Amino acid sequence: MNPDDLRAFAARDWNALAAAKRAHAAQVFRREGAAPLLRAARELFEHARAVNPAWPSARDRAADLAHHVELKRLLARAADVRGR
């Protein structure tokens, strides 16, 4: 590997890249609905499992569940505030 290429990769504007990915996903969703995004997510999951059949680990799944439970709590709290 070329060290300059590695430095350039590490120095990328990661926030701009993340914003561009979100904008693209939003555009796809508006134009085509959720199906293409769900298909892409499924393909990424299948690829990750092909690379590492043990993924996700029990620890990964527990962390993911905790994140979803917290998100649900925040959504319920926001709905309660809005309903008042």
Are 83 and 59 in a shared domain?
yes
pLDDT in tens, 32-79: 999 999 999 999 999 999 999 999 999 999 999 999 999 999 999 999
Are 26 and 61 in a shared domain?
no
Q: How far apart are CA 27 and CA 23, in angstroms?
A: 6
Are 49 and 59 in a shared domain?
no
Parent domain of 41:
1-53
What is the pLDDT confidence band of residue 80, given thresholds at 50, 70 and 90?
confident
Are 49 and 69 in a shared domain?
no
Q: How far apart are CA 71 and CA 38, in angstroms?
A: 20
Are 39 and 62 in a shared domain?
no
Q: Side-chain half-sphere of 42: how many Cα atoms within 13 Å?
A: 6
Are 3 and 31 in a shared domain?
yes
DSSP 34: S
Are 60 and 80 in a shared domain?
yes
Structurally, how many domains does the chain consist of? Answer: 2
How far is residue 33 from each of residues 22, 24, 29, measured CA to CA in Å? 15, 13, 4
pLDDT in tens, 19-28: 999 999 999 9
